[in-house]
Each structure stands twice: as structure tokens, then as C-alpha cells.
Amino acid sequence: MAPLVPGVGRSEPDTEQMVRTDRVAILASATPLAAAARERLTERYGNCPIEQAEMIVSLGGDGFMLETLHRILGRDIPVYGMNCGSVGFLMNPFSEDDLHGRLARAQAAVLRPLRMHAVTATGTVEEALALNEVSLLRQFRQTAKIRITIDGRVRLAELMCDGVLVSTPAGSTAYNLSAHGPIVPLSANVLPLTPISAFRPRRWRGALLPASAEVLFEVLESEKRPVAAVADDTEVRDVVSVAVSEDHHVAATVLFDPDQGLSERIIAEQFTV
């Protein structure tokens, strides 16, 4: 029997029916804390090879959760994270007890990544997916100069800055928030476009774009002012142009404990002082 989607349409899910105990893979980051947690969970619940898994438990912090999600993008496998790291916005609290029950009761959030299409000064084309954000960053001491085009129309002829980023709603509480960008609910269907230390125009604070927007960044004076592009953990240096759009053909499913879903966390983050 194939596993049902956890927590959907059932107020009191039947753990035995909803979770295939022999189809759960347990992955851990390289830290001693996460590795030890994996050993204990494996001893109690077993550990399926990831190639055969129908559900994944990811042990670590948000960085390892992103690494796990990238590893299985394109496969319809939900991921349930437990925090064994320093940052755990995408993670649930760690506990060794009732793992299969927690998986059965978990609620799903579907994340759509951004696709980065970067062209370098040598003409090389690099593509990568980002579940958090795509960012352009100056490489050296010179301020970057970047032209911003949205859906074929130049919106900002020249932005002088340390960088600029486009974030997913899920990633709006990460680097985007640190750069003073807005937090965006998952259901808002918009993408934050946020400058990083804008020098000119100094008062520009960014924009909210429809999720369907196609964004083009063009690096001006690229030899004098080299810029790198980063999509989550993929970095491309010496870019001359970077196109960013939401990829509608790929998705990742993240599982959360009841009443602790990603939408609730994003709302709660806006009231954190």
C-alpha cells in the first residue's frame, strides 16, 4: 500500500495505515549531534536507503534541510525536519519518541523554487534552483552596478549596491529579512525583490513582484565591478546577466507538526521583537 499524504483530510490519522515504516530514510548533517541522533533513531525505527524512500527525516539545521530538499527535488518525497542545528526555521523540535505518529500527523507545505539562468563574462551559462533566494553580490571593493528588467521592461536603469536578491515566500524570512526585505506569506503569490545596501538610489527599498514575473539583472561595468550570483548553495562568479523566474515544474514538500506549519511560522515571525 502506497503511503497517504500525512495530515491531509484526517483529524485522527491511523499511524499504521498512513506511514510505511520500511520506507522512511533518516539523513543527518555532519555534526556530532545530528549523527548521534540518527544512530538512535535508526536503532528504534530503521533506516531505508534514500533511493527507496517514500518519506525522509532530515536531522540538522536549516542549511542541511535545504541540502536535503535539493537532493530530492524532482521526486515526490516529503521531508520532515528535526532541529539538530543552530537555526531551525524549517525544522520541527527534535524528539526520539513516536516518530511514525508525528509523521502521520504532520501537515504539508509545498515550496516552489526559483530558477537562476546566469551568463558569465566568458559566455558560460549556469543554471541552478533556489528554495530560499537568488542573490547577486559584489565580488570586490567596488560597488556593483546592476540594471533591473521585469517582464521585458526596464524598471531600474542603474542600481548601485552591494547586491540585490529575489526571494521565494519561504525564503523571505532568511537573507531577504536580514536585508530589510518584507516577510511574505506562502499564499501571497508574490516574490520580494530586495536591494542589499543600496547606495543609489539610496531610498529604494525594493519591490513585491507577482510570482509569474521574469526578472533580468544585467551587470554594468562588469570588468571593473565584478559580481557573483548565488542560488542557495550554488555560486557563479563573474556574471554579466542573471535571469530569475519561478519554476512551475518542480516542487518540494516540507512537513510540519500540527499548528506549527510554515504559514504560521511566517506570520509569527512578523510579530517577533
Q: Which three cell numbers stand for residue 80?
A: 520532515
Establish whether 206 is an annotated binding residue.
no
Establish whether 241 is an annotated binding residue.
no
Rounded Cα gap, residues 225 and 74, in angstroms: 36
Establish whether 133 is an annotated binding residue.
yes
Establish whether 170 is an annotated binding residue.
yes
Establish whether 197 is an annotated binding residue.
no
Establish whether 212 is an annotated binding residue.
no
- Report the 10 Å Cβ neighbour count for 123: 7
Establish whether 189 is an annotated binding residue.
no
CA 205 to chain CA mean position, Å: 22
The DSSP code for 172 is G
Establish whether 47 is an annotated binding residue.
no
Rounded Cα gap, residues 220 and 266, in angstroms: 35
Establish whether 21 is an annotated binding residue.
no
Catalytic entry in 62, 76, 98, 232: 62
Establish whether 158 is an annotated binding residue.
no
Contact 263, 208 (CB under 8 A): no
- Which of 217, 222, 244, 241 lies closest to 232 in space, CA to CA? 244
Q: Which residue spans within 33-124 are E strands per DSSP?
A: 55-60, 79-83, 107-111, 114-120
- Which of 174, 170, 169, 167 lies closest to 136 in space, CA to CA? 167
Contact 145, 221 (CB under 8 A): yes
Establish whether 157 is an annotated binding residue.
no
Helix or strand holding residue 255 (H, E): strand 252-256
Cis peptide before 210, with omega less than 30 degrees from 0? no
Establish whether 214 is an annotated binding residue.
no
Rounded Cα gap, residues 115 and 252, in angstroms: 14
For the question of residue 151 being annotated catalytic, the response is no
Binding residues: 62-63, 132-133, 162, 170, 173-178
Active site (catalytic) residues: 62
Residue ranges of the binding site for NAD(+): 62-63, 132-133, 162, 170, 173-178
